Structure 1
Amino acid sequence: MLNAIRTTFLLAVLTGLFMAIGFVIGGTGGLMLALMIALMMNLFSFWNSDKIVLRMQNAQAISYNQSPDLYEMVGRLSENAGIPAPQIYLIQSDQPNAFATGRNPENAAVAVSTGLIKRLDYDEIEAVVAHELAHIRSRDTLTMTITATLAGAISMLAQFGLFFGARNNNSPIGPIGSILMVIVAPLAALLVQMAVSRVREYEADRDGAEICGNPEALARALDKIATHAKQIANPYARRSPGMAHMYIINPLIGQRGDNLFSTHPDVKNRIAALLDMAKAQRVDQNTVQNEAWPRSRHIEAQQTGRAHKKAPRSAGWRVPQTARDDQETDKTSKGPWG
């Protein structure tokens, strides 16, 4: 409840900033126009948030036949989370990462990168998917998309104000005040965007660990993703930096200067919280906790000696093919991911 109140307040601040810039540019008329634009943008984001984000990140839908193992994993974890299974998308990026989007659990999507499937172990991928399902269950996906839309609109309106409103001697706060407003407002919007994201990530880590029942796997996944994100660029995230906060790990941390205004909490703090959670689980191993959080059948088979012979680690998991790639691939070949 407290988190919902905090998020509502932060979104109200963003709307207020948007209206303030409108007031600077056009007085009372500009303020009312900005309010109308903000309302229309929020409505548009509500109905089209998933399509906007997926298109901007060049994510392509994959079917069950293209990756049955991945679909079964998402379906099992969605059942644990108590939500409908979302549509699965694939991002053609060698950087391991993932995000979720959608206005509600009934209209949601989870997107994973090809790098995530190639570079992480099965239980780590499972933990990452659980983290994203936690965002969907909490409806963070809608909040984050609206936040990104408003923050981006504030930046664009501020640039417009520099060319027009700040030159207007009739501005309600004067030309100097106008210039300061259009410079400070985007920074304030960025800080609000960061605040919303950081609060949500800690909660999604905890809830995701509960959904998959493996906090240590999520901790290992975060460490691997953060390490690779510093070395491997994500071209789609670079083109749309306003969407960076939607990923499980900031996809831009490899770029100079991004850490100053990071959209995510420090990964070391997130890992430490997950390891503390794992220790708390081990203290009481005789509870029904493990029964309430079913593990992957693949992992259970390994633990009981019934697992099929694994492919060499260097070979990695077979990356699901998109519809476009399937036309150029031998459809008779099979692998761990379909």
Structure 2
Amino acid sequence: MKRVLLFVATNIAILAVITIFMRLFGFDHYLTENGLDYRALAVFSLLWGSVGSFISLAMSKWMAKKAMGVQVIEQPRTADEQWLVDTVKRQAQAAGIGMPEVGIFPSDSPNAFATGMKKNDALVAVSTGLLHSMRRNEVEAVLGHEVAHVANGDMVTMALIQGILNAFVIFFSRIIGYAIAAATRDERGGGYTMGSFIGTLIAQIVLGFLAAMIVNAFSRWREFHADEGGSRLAGNQNMIDALKALQRSSRTEPLEGEFAAFGITSGGQVRQVLSKLFATHPPLEDRIAALENNQRA
């Protein structure tokens, strides 16, 4: 939960920096000199809101390799590495996507993630803890889950949603700031007051948390679809067994930052209301129940 809140706070901090930048370089004055230009503000918000998300997405593979210590399997050195590459290759062909890079990252926690800007140029990585604690049929299901993320275009979709919501946060927080400016404008008129500037920052914080709830709600919905994709690629019972193995593990921890949304699990059990609102993954028991219902159908 702390890591999710940290990620949300980081995104809000970026928006706050944008607001300060606008203030220091006079963009506030430009947008409000003759009344608020809603069209200019909308274009500005969309550009500023989206650029960060897509830069992050474009750099995601590089960031994953550096931040998570992912070692890409260029030439398999062991039977396990050869099996990983062959399994991902077979699943990628079945899913109709290009062969992703396959990597391993050091972590005692059983986890895996997929990232990349393009379906045909992605990265699928598994932790050492996952390889050591799960049977091959369970690892195969986890790989299928991650390949399904790539095939579904989840990374691009998440970036689009985050960018659009960032734009809404910037747009409406500026409108709130302008409303405060209009209410507190002195007789000489013009410009933003300090009260409106602070009001804009507060609005960004509040709206930023609301946007994070929406993004994470979509992320949770997306996990059910990735589970379905994993069950098609590796077998429904194998997918159920993999999730049950994660459920039994006492060492499951969330991945760092933006990669948390694309792991097989967010770690721990989601029980409190606040935790549920900001969780990137549904509870494992709900995901298992959904697969078991599909099995009975």
What TM-score do the two structures reach when normalised by structure 2? 0.70
Name which of 132, 142, 145 aligns with 1:118: 132
For residues 225-247 of structure 1, the C-alpha deviation after alignment (integer angstroms, 9 at most, x for no partner) is 2443x53445xx35x3x431111
- The answer to whether the aligner puts 1:93 opposite 2:113 as a matched pair is no
- The answer to whether the aligner puts 1:48 opposite 2:59 as a matched pair is yes
Name the CA shift for 1:84/1:125 in 2 (closer, same or farther; >3 Å): same
Q: Indicate conservation of the 8 Å contact 1:45/1:146, yes or no.
A: no
Name the CA shift for 1:233/1:137 in 2 (closer, same or farther; >3 Å): closer
For residues 67-117 of structure 1, the C-alpha deviation after alignment (integer angstroms, 9 at most, x for no partner) is 111111111222222222211011101100111111222111101111111
Aligned partner of 1:244 in structure 2 is: 260
Amino acid at match of 1:249: T
Name which of 69, 72, 81 aligns with 1:61: 72
For residues 158-217 of structure 1, the C-alpha deviation after alignment (integer angstroms, 9 at most, x for no partner) is xxx9xxx9x9972598367435403212211211221220121111111221122x1121
Q: Indicate conservation of the 8 Å contact 2:270/2:279, yes or no.
A: no
Question: 1:35, CA displacement in angstroms?
Answer: 3.8
SS in 1 for 2:207: helix
Q: Distance in 1 between matches of 2:253 and 2:287?
A: 22
SS in 1 for 2:145: helix
- The answer to whether the aligner puts 1:223 opposite 2:244 as a matched pair is yes
For residues 50-81 of structure 1, the C-alpha deviation after alignment (integer angstroms, 9 at most, x for no partner) is 22344333322123423111111111222222
Amino acid at match of 2:209: L
Amino acid at match of 1:279: R
Any gaps of 5 or more consecutive residues in structure 1? Answer: 1-13, 281-338
Name which of 198, 206, 211 aligns with 1:189: 211
What TM-score do the two structures reach when normalised by structure 1? 0.62
Q: Distance in 2 between matches of 1:176 and 1:278?
A: 54
Amino acid at match of 2:219: S
Aligned partner of 1:127 in structure 2 is: 141
For residues 18-57 of structure 1, the C-alpha deviation after alignment (integer angstroms, 9 at most, x for no partner) is 69x8599636379465443334334424533322344333
Aligned partner of 2:196 in structure 1 is: 174
Identical positions, percent: 29
For residues 129-154 of structure 1, the C-alpha deviation after alignment (integer angstroms, 9 at most, x for no partner) is 11111111111122235556788999
Any gaps of 5 or more consecutive residues in structure 2? Answer: 1-10, 33-39, 185-191
SS in 1 for 2:115: strand
Q: Equivalent residues in 2 for 1:1-338 (5 A)? A: 22=19, 26=28, 28=31, 31=41, 33-66=44-77, 67-145=81-159, 170=192, 174=196, 177-178=199-200, 180-212=202-234, 214-228=235-249, 231-233=251-253, 237-238=255-256, 240=257, 242-251=258-267, 258-259=275-276, 261-280=278-297
SS in 2 for 1:79: helix
Q: Distance in 1 between matches of 2:128 and 2:166?
A: 28
Q: Distance in 2 between matches of 1:253 and 1:146?
A: 28
Q: Distance in 1 between matches of 2:68 and 2:193?
A: 39
Q: Distance in 2 between matches of 1:147 and 1:60?
A: 30
Q: Distance in 1 between matches of 2:71 and 2:276?
A: 29
Aligned length: 253
Q: Distance in 2 between matches of 1:46 and 1:175?
A: 30
Name the CA shift for 1:105/1:36 in 2 (closer, same or farther; >3 Å): closer
Amino acid at match of 2:124: V
Name the CA shift for 1:176/1:145 in 2 (closer, same or farther; >3 Å): closer
Q: Distance in 1 between matches of 2:156 and 2:268?
A: 22
Name the CA shift for 1:268/1:71 in 2 (closer, same or farther; >3 Å): same
For residues 268-315 of structure 1, the C-alpha deviation after alignment (integer angstroms, 9 at most, x for no partner) is 1110111122233xxxxxxxxxxxxxxxxxxxxxxxxxxxxxxxxxxx
**4+ residue segments displaced more than 4 Å:** 21-25, 29-34, 145-155, 252-260
Root mean square deviation, CA, Å = 4.1
Question: Which protein has the bigger helix share?
Answer: 2
